[in-house]
Amino acid sequence: MSALTMPLPGTARALRLELKRNAVPYLLPLLAAVFYFNTLRTADGFPPVWTLRASVISAHMLFEFSAFAGGLAAWAGSREGRRKTLDLVATTSRAAWARLSIALAGTLCWLLLAFLAGVALLYGRTAFQATWGGPPLWPVFVGAAGVTVVSVIGFACGVFFPGRFTAPLVAIGTLLLYQAGMHAAQSLEPGQAAYALLSPADAPPIVDAGIYHHVPPDRAVVQVMLMAGIAVGLLGALGLAPDLRRLATARSLASVRGAFARGDSWLLRTIAVVLITCGAGMAATAVSLAGTAQPDTIAGGWEIPALHSSAVDRSLPAAQACTSLNVAGSAFQVCVHKAFSFDLKEVAAALKPVIAEIAGLPGAPVGASEVASISGGQTVTSGMAGHPPVFTFTADRVGLMFGQFLGMPDPAAWRAGFQMGLLDAFLTSQPGAGHPAGPTRSGAAQQAVENALLTAVGTSPSELGGGQMLNGRPNAATSAAISAATRRFLALSASARRAWLAAHLSALRAGTITPAQIP
């Protein structure tokens, strides 16, 4: 009996009993399996960028934990009803609220432990793979708050409705709330109901979120505030649970008086009411703050004026990883943000053959550099910038391709995306424009030249899955003309192509050349 001699305070001893005998550990293997298949495999599909990997906490981990946390907490809360110990525990002196809180704390400890273990595994794997940055903490706070509030909701439902259907109904109820919030958050437009901002569920952020600019924590703050408010309010409601149960069965004024005469002290009841009020106030404040949300003009997303700090609007220090290519005797520097340095070699390898085709031509870029995908609240598209021109692209967009830095499901198509993006910018932008001109719609002649150059470097235009830019949909005649011009231009020698381009690039960019005029 050595365990009994440990000098722990009474509450800690009771909590230790709860931790030892809780049902949650028996279901951890199932939870771990779901975590592996849902959260971890999804995270592994993202590049090792902290913000992207952390997004699975709200988007996936919270979903699977909600399924179990709500139901298991309802199971724990209904224990006294299921085990017919209500009378027995009612004769003890410790306040019912304390007793229920200990049971809730035991369940919550296990769930939070499992949650944090999952986060540690996720962040640990990312730490080994990431090339820049550090673990964001706000997603963890939001996730922990989510697990907590779902557990408290489930426990309260179990206390007040200790039936066999409570646990499964709580489980699907929380999942439906989560899914509805996810749907609302993903389809949120400025001016729509801002309550969708309060849902922790959301689609993954843009690829370079948190890399060039801070991710404002405003939305996370109101989410935590809402969930904490609900949890605190329900905790207060648990303090009134015995009174509410007795009131539910009271049939007369005398019964009502008797019901109040048997419960905890009026001080505890007062504290319970205060907690309910504070929780409701906190939740209402979060809802009203979310209603003031505006689109973030710096880094995209949303900001809440009352919570927004100007320090967050400052750009993060630039951190680039570069490599230099020797193309036609001159250096061509390819740079990406350090967070994507794992893709630097592939980007350089993709661009090199195309650079070799156009090096030295008017308006040919002298380098390629990744820039932020959001600037001044506007989406940045790839193009040519500066003088001498540099091909700029973003982690989110290269030409018409989205999410190039999210991964390489098809390496050939991935390479083709960069090559096409460079040629789109080269063939449509005017030299010296000094402003990153987004890819504009090509004319037929531009498309024909682009197709020929791509084929010349070994990339089939069909790799791009039809993502070519054209003014509207070409009719059959135009398509045939483009194909013929492509074949003719490809049949020329490399030097002939360069010579023709050197002489006709301006006209080509101005759109005054037709496919028939291409040699």
Q: In angstroms, rounded to a whole number, what is the distance separating the alpha carbons of residues 184 and 122?
A: 27
Stretch binding another protein (CB under 8 A), from 71-79, 138-146, 395-403, 409-417: 71-79
Q: Which residue has the tokens 């690829």?
A: 207
CA 215 – CA 198 distance, rounded (Å): 16
| Euclidean distance between CA atoms 139 and 136, whole angstroms | 7
Beta bridge partners of 336: 321
Q: Cβ-count burial of 124 within 10 angstroms (0-12 exposed, 13-18 middle, 19+ buried)?
A: exposed
Report the residue number, 84 or 473, with the smaller CB distance to another protein: 84
In this structure, what DSSP letter does residue 213 have?
B
Q: Which of 128, 165, 466, 475 binds another protein (CB under 8 A)?
A: 165
User: Does residue 248 bind another protein (CB under 8 A)?
Assistant: no
Residue identified by tokens 């340095």 is 341
Q: Smallest distance from the beta carbon of 143 to another protein, in angstroms?
A: 15
Q: Which is nearer to another protein, 260 or 500 (CB)?
A: 260
Is 517 near another protein (CB under 8 A)? no
Torsion sign across C-alpha atoms 336, 341, 345, 349: negative
Q: Which residues pair with 393 in a beta bridge?
A: 370
79: nearest Cα among 137, 23, 136: 23
Does 203 engage in binding with another protein (CB under 8 A)?
Answer: no
User: Residue 8, interface with another protein (CB under 8 A)?
Assistant: yes
CB of 107 to another protein, least distance (A): 14
Q: Is 75 in the site for another protein (CB under 8 A)?
A: yes
Write each residue from 79 to 98 as x if it is in contact with another protein (CB under 8 A), else as -, in one continuous string. xx-xxxxxxxxxxxxx----
Q: Print the binding letters for residues 49-68 with another protein: x by CB under 8 A, - otherwise.
A: -----------x--xx--xx
Stretch that binds another protein, among 74-82, 342-350, 360-368, 509-517 (CB under 8 A): 74-82
Among 62, 159, 175, 397, binds another protein (CB under 8 A): 175
Query: What's the burial of 61, exposed, middle or buried (CB within 10 Å: 0-12/13-18/19+)?
Result: buried
> Smallest distance, Å, CB 121 to another protein?
17
171 binds another protein (CB under 8 A): yes
Question: In whole angstroms, what is the distance from residue 65 CA to residue 67 CA?
Answer: 5
Long-range pairs, 394-400, Cβ under 8 A, ≥24? 394/208, 394/370, 395/206, 395/207, 395/208, 395/211, 395/337, 395/340, 395/370, 396/206, 396/207, 396/208, 397/373, 399/424, 399/425, 399/439, 399/467, 399/469, 400/424, 400/439, 400/467, 400/468, 400/469
Which of 51, 52, 57, 71 lies at the binding interface for another protein (CB under 8 A)? Answer: 71
Q: What Rg do the C-alpha atoms of the chain give, in angstroms? A: 31
Q: Per CB under 8 A, which of residues 457..486 are in contact with another protein?
A: none
Question: Does residue 265 touch another protein according to CB under 8 A?
Answer: yes
Kindly state whether residue 4 participates in binding another protein, applying the rule CB under 8 A: yes
| Residue with Cβ nearer another protein (172 or 503) | 172
Site residues for another protein per CB under 8 A: 1, 4-5, 7-11, 13-14, 17, 20-21, 23, 27, 30-31, 33-34, 37-38, 41-42, 60, 63-64, 67-68, 71, 75, 79-80, 82-94, 99, 163-165, 167-169, 171-172, 175-176, 179-180, 183, 251, 254, 258-259, 261-266
